[in-house]
Structure 1
Amino acid sequence: MIKPLVEGDEALVLGLGLYGVAVARALRSRGISVTVAEDRPTDLTATLAEELDVTLLAEPAVEALVEALARADAFVPSPGVPQQHGAFAAAVATGVPTISEFDMARWWDNRPIVAITGTDGKTTVTMLTVEMLQRSGVAAAAAGNNDLPLIEAIDDPQTAVFVVEASSFRLAHTQRFAPRAAAWLNFAPDHLDVHLDLTSYEDAKASIWADLPVGGLAVATLADPTVMKHVPTDRRVSTIGLTEGTSRVVGDELSIDDVPICRIDELPRHFDHDITNTLTAATLALELGATRTGVRDAIMSSEALPHRIQFVETIEGIDFYNDSKATVPHAVVTATGSFDSVILIAGGRNKGLDLRDMASRSPSVREVVAIGEAAPDIESAFGGLAPTVVAQDMRDAIRIAFRIADPGEVVLLSPGCASYDSYTSYVARGEDFIGLVAELAKDQRDGDNP
């Protein structure tokens, strides 16, 4: 275990984005010297570094990183920096420990943390857990893999519980993380452009349970064999399932430890993953002090987050759904499995993943419209399984899908790929889809053929 950084120590921070700024500010406020290495500086980078009172290394060569690490007591890489980056090898060579904001938050704050990881569903479960706690009178805040890094969140003295969305990027850099309760939702290949390999990605996820305190709770999805093989044997465990587990469906009710919390028809949406996400959030919230009344109130008032199997519009009996957040095959399988017959719009920028899995495990897909850089990969993946058409852009894809679909079917944007070939984010991609579906609906009302 590494020693906490104290006044007079020095740290090298890699990256000056949202995370890097929060980390640098926290370190400087405690009298710790900071050098920031930024591979892609902008016109504002130098000004920001000056405001933070840190030393800036702009586009540093490996030699400069080695020199900075030789003076440093810790190395703090930003989430998403590929593990192949030269700074990681330099840190190992110089014997400097790699840490994350989770380590620093543990050093400087002792309020309880509940943590959520998984390939899919982290944000949904995080936000629902926060809402359940808040409606129970517990001052809870979401932090981590969102717009509020945990190291910044601990500055608020009013927060009683931190609900942390724990990405593999943060977990992989953490020496010790000890949440009061931690859930691992699912596991599927992802981020192989960042992690060294699938094993290192799995190890990062599994580390969420590595340092659970005595009395801590591990929450695990029973149907996921990768998750279950890492369940700790010396800590309390709650399992989540549809028909089995300590949190499951009994009759027409969601039940935790055989105590009902709500009926299925009271959920805002009833897909299988909605049920398991709700059970997970409720299990975590109850562990951290939520009341069953607060949990139920949060469920009754909750809404599905945007860009996650989001209903958009019905046009001539065809339902359009936006699942732009689905940037990996595993998420596409979840989405297509929620419907009987789907015209799938998929593609974008492949993250180095094998797309054949989403094709072989999506029997409800009748036809596919491929988009973006990965269109040839999509064609290849669905070859022999579903006819595939390549579209020029999102507008073209929507109109092709509309012509193919029959009333009662679903046109589903669930790309299975990142958005960066054509958009700045999955949000921008989803908003474009929503706007273009609205345009199609107007054209249909006006009598214009797509």
Structure 2
Amino acid sequence: MKALVYGLAVAGEATVRAMQSRGIDVLAADDTSTPERLALAGDLGVDLEVAPDDTALERLLGAVDLVVPAPGVPEGHRLFAAATAREVDVVSEIELAYRWEQERPGGPRPMLAVTGTDGKTTTTLLAVEMLAAAGVRSVAAGNTEVPLVTALDLDLDAFVVECTSFRLAWTEQFRGESAAWLNLAPDHLNWHRSYATYGDAKNRIFANQRPSDAAIGFADDADVMRYLAAAPARHVTFAADGADYRVVDGVLTGPTGQLAPVSALSRRLPHDITNGLAASALVLEAGLASTDAVAAALGTFTGPPHRIELVGEIDGVEYYNDSKATTPHAAATAIAAFDHVVLIAGGRNKDLDLSPMVAQPHRIRAVVAIGDAADLIADLFAGVAPIHRASTMPDAVDVAGAAARSGDVVLLSPGCASYDWYSGYEARGDDFRRIVQALAAGIPPAPHEETATP
């Protein structure tokens, strides 16, 4: 067999290495060329075709049996029409890994799957912690630092797979014995052709399940529930109220009884509770953990960085890093968690309607608009709260601090991508945290090389 890996970043590199270790010949292509990618291709021993034209693409497809696109290759890329015309199979990294796992000597290990517009990483990590408390060795794989093709080679009992729409779109067999869909809101419309194809891609998380599997959906999300209604597996719901997994008299509760008091959670914001319910359903419905293990993990889990992460307090004002909120839906969730917010928002808009960010205007003390979308943010909040602008992150933190009062929250929840000022949301959040912690220590923050200059 010979395969074409299109896109040579993290997932692409892992896929090439995994294929080569299984004796598959690999060709590589990418729309962009950097010294690092060219060096990586050399290290992998593959020729890298850069920005192939139609003729070169036809030549590549004519030489392979399989195409594995990197997550960043958008749905409308000409690669897919060309592959379809040539009847070349297109699969994502998680689909490829799933197929290999089915052929594992001794049988496949269980896979749990998580998708949603927001909350995937937190819920995935929490499920891993619940499994660990139950003595089940697992890893957060897929849209994480560990691609699923890499995780297959680890000594594990199960996998918890964070599934983006990018990866789900190109699946044919991939299945989780237990699969949770957290929410659905417009996102990645610069990747998908439409909101409908985005939702349909997410729906692949349910499509291949069996009647004995568990399809878990958020009862408060009408779109998720519409897809759940057609899922072939057992239907399970979660929400703060009116669902199979819910809160009863201040206690997280499942179909078999109590799980843990809300007061036992290390953080108890509304989405922390629903994420906890979703993760509980994921592991319990799969039969991989006990309620005791679930309760233990709920009591110790602190959550990942960059998602409403408290990074410091200055003069009675708490500063939260929510850089992972790259959609207006995620930012709106963060805003709803606090009573008085000075919001730092903006970045590079992903062709999304930003209006959900202003759904609760009574919570907004002031807004600091940053990045390419600063004008959009300023227009959105005009008449709602005082608007300030900042051209660097240090400026944004200074302006936000000046606008805040004791007891307020300064919240970096951009609602936009970070690629105008930074290499990713992690770099943006790290910079924000660094600045806040320096100011809290009375040290002027040093300039950061990724931050835009005026």
- Shorter chain as denominator, the TM-score bin is over 0.9
382-391 or 211-220, which moves further after superposition? 382-391
**Given that residues 246 and 258 in structure 1 are in contact (C-alpha distance below 8 angstroms), is that contact kept between their aligned partners in structure 2?**
no
434-443 or 146-155, which moves further after superposition? 434-443
**Given that residues 209 and 232 in structure 2 are in contact (C-alpha distance below 8 angstroms), is that contact kept between their aligned partners in structure 1?**
no
Q: Distance in 2 between matches of 1:339 and 1:123?
A: 22
* 2:402 alignment counterpart: 403
Give the CA deviation at 1:258: 4.9
Provide the secondary structure at the position in 1 that maps to 2:260. strand
**Given that residues 268 and 304 in structure 1 are in contact (C-alpha distance below 8 angstroms), is that contact kept between their aligned partners in structure 2?**
no
* CA distance 1:402–1:52, shift in 2 (3 Å): closer
* 1:5 alignment counterpart: none
Provide the secondary structure at the position in 1 that maps to 2:175. coil
Amino acid at match of 1:204: A
Instruction: Give the alignment of 1:402-421 within 5 angstroms.
Output: 402-421=401-420
Q: For residues 219-240 of structure 1, give each alpha carbon's deviation from its aligned partner in whole angstroms, at most 9, with x where no partner exists.
A: 1110011111000354211101
Please provide the CA RMSD for this pair. 1.8
> Across the two proteins, how many residue pairs are aligned to each other?
436
**Given that residues 178 and 283 in structure 2 are in contact (C-alpha distance below 8 angstroms), is that contact kept between their aligned partners in structure 1?**
no
Provide the secondary structure at the position in 2 that maps to 1:230. helix
Amino acid at match of 2:91: I
Q: Distance in 1 between matches of 2:381 and 2:169?
A: 33
**Given that residues 136 and 294 in structure 1 are in contact (C-alpha distance below 8 angstroms), is that contact kept between their aligned partners in structure 2?**
yes
2:130 is matched with which residue: 122, 129, 132?
132
Provide the secondary structure at the position in 2 that maps to 1:368. strand
**Given that residues 328 and 415 in structure 2 are in contact (C-alpha distance below 8 angstroms), is that contact kept between their aligned partners in structure 1?**
yes
Amino acid at match of 2:56: A
* 1:220 alignment counterpart: 217
- 1:193 and 2:190 matched: yes
* CA distance 1:25–1:233, shift in 2 (3 Å): closer
Q: Distance in 1 between matches of 2:413 and 2:363?
A: 13
Provide the secondary structure at the position in 2 that maps to 1:274. helix
Provide the secondary structure at the position in 2 that maps to 1:164. strand
2:147 is matched with which residue: 146, 149, 152?
149
Amino acid at match of 2:7: G
* 1:315 alignment counterpart: 314
**Given that residues 206 and 231 in structure 2 are in contact (C-alpha distance below 8 angstroms), is that contact kept between their aligned partners in structure 1?**
no
Give the CA deviation at 1:192: 1.2
Amino acid at match of 2:311: V
* 1:29 alignment counterpart: 21
Q: For residues 372-400 of structure 1, give each alpha carbon's deviation from its aligned partner in whole angstroms, at most 9, with x where no partner exists.
A: 11100101111232331111221111121
Q: Distance in 2 between matches of 1:91 and 1:303?
A: 44
Q: Distance in 2 between matches of 1:436 and 1:286?
A: 41
* 1:95 alignment counterpart: 87
2:121 is matched with which residue: 107, 120, 123?
123
- 1:182 and 2:179 matched: yes
Q: Distance in 1 between matches of 2:46 and 2:440?
A: 53
- 1:438 and 2:437 matched: yes
**Given that residues 214 and 236 in structure 2 are in contact (C-alpha distance below 8 angstroms), is that contact kept between their aligned partners in structure 1?**
yes
**Given that residues 370 and 379 in structure 1 are in contact (C-alpha distance below 8 angstroms), is that contact kept between their aligned partners in structure 2?**
yes
- 1:159 and 2:156 matched: yes
Q: Distance in 1 between matches of 2:4 and 2:251?
A: 51
Give the CA deviation at 1:131: 0.9
**Given that residues 345 and 371 in structure 1 are in contact (C-alpha distance below 8 angstroms), is that contact kept between their aligned partners in structure 2?**
yes
* 1:208 alignment counterpart: 205
Amino acid at match of 1:238: V
* 1:331 alignment counterpart: 330
Give the CA deviation at 1:152: 1.4
* 1:358 alignment counterpart: 357
* CA distance 1:442–1:32, shift in 2 (3 Å): closer
* CA distance 1:46–1:407, shift in 2 (3 Å): closer
TM-score by length of 1: 0.93
* CA distance 1:25–1:342, shift in 2 (3 Å): same
Give the CA deviation at 1:410: 1.2
Q: Distance in 2 between matches of 1:44 and 1:323?
A: 30
Provide the secondary structure at the position in 2 that maps to 1:140. coil
Give the CA deviation at 1:18: 1.6
Give the CA deviation at 1:86: 2.3
- Percent of pairs identical after alignment? 46
* 2:293 alignment counterpart: 294
- 1:49 and 2:41 matched: yes
Amino acid at match of 1:311: L
Q: Could you list the runs of 5+ residues in structure 1 that have no partner in the other structure?
A: 1-8, 446-450
TM-score by length of 2: 0.92
191-200 or 41-50, which moves further after superposition? 41-50
Amino acid at match of 1:406: R
* 1:243 alignment counterpart: 241
**Given that residues 116 and 183 in structure 1 are in contact (C-alpha distance below 8 angstroms), is that contact kept between their aligned partners in structure 2?**
yes
Provide the secondary structure at the position in 1 that maps to 2:203. helix
**Given that residues 417 and 425 in structure 2 are in contact (C-alpha distance below 8 angstroms), is that contact kept between their aligned partners in structure 1?**
yes
Amino acid at match of 1:137: G
Q: Distance in 2 between matches of 1:278 and 1:421?
A: 33
313-322 or 132-141, which moves further after superposition? 313-322
Q: Distance in 2 between matches of 1:44 and 1:444?
A: 35
Provide the secondary structure at the position in 2 that maps to 1:92. helix
Q: Distance in 2 between matches of 1:335 and 1:251?
A: 24
- 1:277 and 2:269 matched: no
Q: Distance in 2 between matches of 1:128 and 1:52?
A: 34
* 1:385 alignment counterpart: 384
Amino acid at match of 2:80: F
* 1:104 alignment counterpart: 96
Q: Distance in 1 between matches of 2:25 and 2:238?
A: 45
228-237 or 143-152, which moves further after superposition? 228-237
Give the CA deviation at 1:22: 1.7
Q: Could you list the runs of 5+ residues in structure 2 that have no partner in the other structure?
A: 102-107, 445-454
Give the CA deviation at 1:207: 1.2
